[in-house]
Structure 1
Amino acid sequence: MTVRWTQLTDQDAAAWALLCARAEEVDKTGEHYDAEDLAEELADPLVSLELGTLAGWDGDVMVAAGLLRNRATANPVNRVYFDGVVHPQYRRQGLGRRLTEWAIETTPVVSRSRFPDAPMELHVQAHEANTVKAGLLTASGFVPQRWFFTMQRSLSGELPAPVLPEGVRVEGFDHARHDLAALRVRNESFADHWGSSPQDEESWKQWYTGTRAFVPELSYVALAGSPGADDEMVAFLLTAFFEADEVATGRREAWISTIGTLRAYRRRGLASALIATCLQAAAEQGYDQAALGVDAANPTGALGVYEAAGFAVDRKHVAYVREF
């Protein structure tokens, strides 16, 4: 077998989506992508198609793909993220190793193209059941550093009621009034989260409030102070909906993509109130379930908050890091 290697182009989203679908049939990671989702990946300004992508082809069938993504900022280190996938029928033939070696060799080039003098790390996640990938990463110098859980709950039956502390109110997300304030709260509230870097306006709009999956009707902000010029955003919740998930599973899922609370307002029930508001609205709008992701060692106690809201762990991923 001869595999032809190329860079990814903006015309390859459909072939890449088909590759991911074939892999998911075997890997059962719970991740589903359609061509539109991957077209957004290819259009990400933090991805260089020329420097940071690699695709393997058998004829006109994409059988392997890898992508490296810079972070928006390098504070204190540029964390380059690697996504790689190999078609199940082409595994155990060295393609995964080829992608991994390419990622290691190319990360310094990709990182320095944006941050010439910044230290760098290479990050990749692996589903806990994928022992082959875990072995490949470990043999390539990666170290497991963190566990991440995907949690789900049904939207049928009794749902938690929102309870807000005095002096705080919740409003639906409005781009014109809330977008940049939510970015500020996100960066401040995630400053003590492992692996997190500040987002800039471009990346914020690309992957948070400007992505096609963003659902403003299920996104909310918590405001403190009197309505008007004197109020302050102190917490927010963003929700996304992925059509590819519904097509693959038959279930309509509200994905709570980001929750942030300013440090001074933690431990007051704001995250719980925002989640409860979102769950009730999602149920009314015909969603079947809600889901979110969490760092198992999150210092804010997020795991307990989500469990109290009825979420249970559905699957686990391990974050591997290779330092340079």
Structure 2
Amino acid sequence: MSTADAVDPATTDSATAGPSDPSPPDLTVAERAAPPATLPEVHADGLTWRGARREDAPAVLTILNHLAAADNAPFRWSLAEIEERLAAPYRDLDRDFLLGVDGTGALHAFADVHTPPGDETVARAILQGGVHPTRRGEGIGRELLAWQIARGRQKLAASALADRRVPAWLVVHMEDEAPETLGHTFERAGFAAQRYYSDLRRDLSRPIPPVVAPPSDSTLRLVPWTPELDEPTRLARNDAFRDHWGSQPQTRETWAEDRSAFMPAWTYLVVDDAPDVAALLSSPDTDEETAAALRAGDPLVVAYQVASKYVEDFEVRGFTFGYSDNVGVRRAYRGRGLAPAVMAAGMRAMADDGMQYAALDVDTENPSGAVGLYAALGYEKQGGSRMLTIEL
């Protein structure tokens, strides 16, 4: 499944508050979450409800792909992605998942609620799931969503940000082409659209811009991804997206997720071999993890394009493509043409491997100029999605 972490749509990725949160809330996250002592029951003829188990991955894969087809999503999940989700150490399989199964053990409804462990300035509970198309129209979806909202409130009240006075959101995502009934279900529950994303693609049969490496007398190098540069790339991503609305840092564990489709051969970075460490350490924009890495003499990634190959999506979209999961430039290094360099290198590698298109998603209000950059590189809009929230 291709995701839009290139623009961090949760999110997703200014970063500290949404437009309706101009000042810190008066109450803590836990006070505003008002967590219920018990969760509402979900009623459905012939179904029993339980948490998840890691061996449920094939059944969860099947229902999620049925939901994706019914809701006109331009992607499909892979078994490896589901296995990664169920293995995530911060997810409570018994309490954060709800599965509705019939007497044969077949799965007819699925719900998942999680709070990303890296959140620092916005507390988020992200809700995913749905009801198998053959059981829609029975009211199960509304009750399942009510369960998710209640569990989301519990998760927020127990999160690391529970005692903080920061924005708190219940979050769902929806494709623009999803059935109207899905949007109405969210709206009746109190969700409202907060952000919009464009699904872009670029025909790789057209001439690709030349890969312009940094000048030979520069301390910057354009290089392919290697394992030892993965952690420096995570730190670069966190710096690059700190000024993006709603974005939160990626921890080591969340960064390591969703890598089953990762393509090192399509992933390019710019490294600064001789950064001005004193200037960076004195800058208020340098985060603590980057500062520690600089003091340790670790490599400094300053621009990157992380790419994946989502084979399951090819048939749905009708073409083969390489997907840019995440693209960014450290703020201290912007304005040097580094984003076009890593993008062009990635596109050329995708084309060399026989891909027909390059694809990505972008926040339509991205503050870094990414929308204009992608247009200049030949990307065109193919579809879109949106993030909806209940702001507590």
Q: Taking structure 2 as the reference length, what is the TM-score of the superposition? A: 0.76
CA contact (8 A) 1:72 1:198 kept: no
Q: Which residue of 2 aligns with 1:157?
A: 206
Q: Secondary structure in 2 aligned to 1:186?
A: helix
Q: Which residue of 2 aligns with 1:213?
A: 261
1:223 aligns with 2:268: no
CA distance in 2 between partners of 1:16 and 1:56 (Å): 11
- Correspondence 1:71-150 to 2 at 5 A: 71-115=116-160, 116-118=162-164, 120-130=168-178, 131-150=180-199
Aligned to 1:136, the other structure's residue is in SS state helix
Decide which structure has the larger Cα Rg and report it: 2
Shift of 1:196: 1.0
Q: CA deviation at 1:219?
A: 0.8
| Distance in 1 (alpha carbons) for counterparts of 2:356 and 2:320 | 5
Residue identity matched to 1:196: S
One-letter code of the match for 1:160? P
Q: Which runs of 4+ in 1 moved over 6 A?
A: none
- Structure 2 equivalent of residue 273 of structure 1: 341
2:171–2:389 Cα contact (<8 Å) kept? yes
1:124/1:319 contact within 8 Å kept: yes
Deviation at 1:250, TM superposition (A): 6.3
**1:253 Cα shift?**
2.2
What CA distance in whole angstroms lies between the structure 2 residues aligned with 1:138 and 1:100? 11
What per-residue deviation string (whole Å, max 9, x for no partner) do you get for residues 180-235 of structure 1?
2111111111111112111111221224xxx22111111111123559x7974211
AA paired with 2:386? V
**Aligned sequence identity (%):** 29
| 1:111 shift after superposition | 2.8
Q: Report 1 or 2 for greater relative contact order, CA contacts < 8 Å, sequence distance ≥ 6.
A: 2
Structure 1 position 23 matched with structure 2 position 67: yes
Counterpart position of 1:7? 51
Taking only aligned residues, the RMSD between alpha carbons, in angstroms, comes to: 2.1
- For 1:308, the aligned partner's letter is A
Moved more, 60-69 or 116-125: 116-125
> Is the contact between residue 97 and residue 136 of structure 1 (CA under 8 Å) also seen in structure 2?
yes
Q: State the alpha-carbon separation in 2 of the partners of residues 231 and 139 from structure 1.
A: 49
What SS does the corresponding residue of 1:18 show, helix, strand or coil?
helix
The CA distance in 1 between the partners of 2:148 and 2:380, in whole Å, is 34
Distance in 2 (alpha carbons) for counterparts of 1:28 and 1:108: 29
Report the Cα offset of residue 76 of structure 1. 1.2
| Maintained 8 Å contact 1:165/1:268 | no
Normalised by the length of structure 1, the TM-score is 0.91
What is the deviation of 1:312?
1.2
Does residue 240 (structure 1) correspond to residue 308 (structure 2)? The answer is yes
Q: Distance in 2 between matches of 1:65 and 1:200?
A: 26
For 1:170 and 1:129, the matched residues in 2 are separated by: 38
Q: Which amino acid aligns with 1:134?
A: G
Distance 1:255 1:44 in 2: 23
Residue of structure 1 in register with 2:221 after alignment: 169
SS at the partner of 1:49?
coil
Q: 2:311 and 2:298 mapped to 1: Cα distance?
A: 39
Give, as a single letter, the amino acid of the residue that structure 2 aligns with 1:47: R
Q: Which has the higher strand share?
A: 1
- Give the structure 2 partner of residue 185 of structure 1: 236
- Of residues 25, 32, 47, the one that matches 2:91 is 47
Give, in angstroms, the shift of residue 157 of structure 1.
3.0
* Cα 1:307/1:270, change in 2 over 3 Å: same
Distance across 2 between alignment mates of 1:303 and 1:199: 23
Match for residue 24 of structure 2?
none
- Asked whether the equivalents of residues 115 and 126 of structure 2 are also in contact (C-alpha less than 8 Å), the reply is yes
Which ranges in structure 1 are unaligned for 5 or more consecutive residues? none
Q: Give 3-state SS (helix, strand or coil) of 2:246's partner.
A: coil
Write the distance in 2 (CA, Å) between the matches of 1:112 and 1:96: 24
- Structure 1 residue 36: Cα displacement: 2.0
Contact residue 269 and residue 303 of structure 2 kept, 8 A: yes
Residues 84/230 of structure 1: CA separation in 2 closer, same or farther (3 Å cut): closer
Q: Residue 49 of structure 2 aligns to which amino acid in structure 1?
A: W
- The offset of 1:109, in angstroms, is 2.0
Q: Deviations over 1:110-143 (max 9, x none)?
A: 2344424345311111112322121111111112
117-126 vs 243-252, which deviates more? 243-252
Amino acid at match of 1:169: R
Asked whether the 8 Å contact 2:114–2:152 carries over to 1, the reply is no
Aligned partners of 1:52 and 1:106 also within 8 Å: yes
